[in-house]
Amino acid sequence: MLEKIENIAQGSDYQKSSGTDKKFGNKRSLSNSYSSVNDSISLSPAILFLSSINWKLKYLHIEKDKLTIVFIFDNFEFSAILTLSEIPSLEKIEYTVKYPADHQTNANNLTINLSSYIFHSIIDGSPINHQLLDLTKFCISVMEAYRYNSGLSIDSIQIQDIYVGLEYEIKSEFAYLNKCLINFLEKYLSLKIAHDKDIEQTKSGLKLKYLQLNKM
């Protein structure tokens, strides 16, 4: 069961909030600010689903037409901001990913911004993933190559060589992440996200946008 997730904004009800577009204007959020877990949250299908795939929900917030979600999986912190009106026909997800160099202190980390197109043909029927081995391998390789060098750039030959060698595998891992996030959103918002296979065939899959090594 997820730990330390509570704090729905005052005046909102979780079960009511997981309705249709007419509810999207309400401001509501979950975070790990408190130690107790509200029964209606812990027993909801959306939260139980995250627990079943070993994701830890760190933050979930809806205000106006934006949904912000932050979750932890296999030592990575993933965050995404989605436009609610676009979710039913979602084509891609923009992620910010943080990977700690030191898992004990989380002091140093690699931050990656990327865009992942949703490929339903890849993710249909895929089993539960417990690790992101290739994304981890990519992050470790980048850290070892640059050692917090300020000249780090996604356009560098060294970064491109590391990425190209793992691109297909990382793409598959993000296809899995997209699948799980879509399943959560469908349960939480009580909607169905459509997909167009013709659109899938024209997209490149995964695009790195930004890399930064942070030393604290």
177: buried, middle or exposed (CB in 10 Å: 19+, 13-18, 0-12)?
buried
Confidence of residue 180 (pLDDT cuts 50, 70, 90): very high
Q: For the segment 41-87, what is each residue's pLDDT rounded down to a tens digit?
A: 544 889 899 999 999 999 999 998 999 999 999 999 999 999 999 99
| Rg value, the chain, Cα | 18
Task: Give the DSSP H/E element, type plus range, for residue 175.
Answer: helix 157-189
Instruction: Examine the pLDDT at 36 and tell me if it is beyond 60.
Output: no
pLDDT > 90: what percent of the chain?
43
What pLDDT shows up at residue 150? 57
Contact in structure between 110 and 139 (CB atoms under 8 Å) = yes
In DSSP notation, 87-120 reads: GGG--EEEEEEEEESSTTT--SEEEEEEEEE--H
> What mean pLDDT comes out for the span 150-154?
72
Q: For the segment 184-215, what is each residue's pLDDT rounded down to a tens digit?
A: 999 999 888 876 655 544 455 889 999 988 77
CA distance 117 to 210: 17
Task: Reduce the secondary structure of 43-96 to three states and give it as a string.
Answer: CCHHHHHHHHCCCEEEEEEEECCEEEEEEEECCEEEEEEEEHHHHHHCCEEEEE
Instruction: Examine the pLDDT at 96 and tell me if it is beyond 50.
Output: yes
6 phi and psi angles, rounded to 5 deg: -160, -155
What is the pairing mode between strands 76-83 and 28-31?
unpaired
Cα 122 to the center of its chain, rounded Å: 18
Instruction: Examine the pLDDT at 151 and tell me if it is beyond 90.
Output: no
Instruction: Examine the pLDDT at 146 and tell me if it is beyond 60.
Output: yes
Q: What is the pTM of this model?
A: 0.78
CA distance 60 to 22: 19
185: buried, middle or exposed (CB in 10 Å: 19+, 13-18, 0-12)?
buried
Which amino acid is present at 124?
D
> What mean pLDDT comes out for the span 89-116?
84
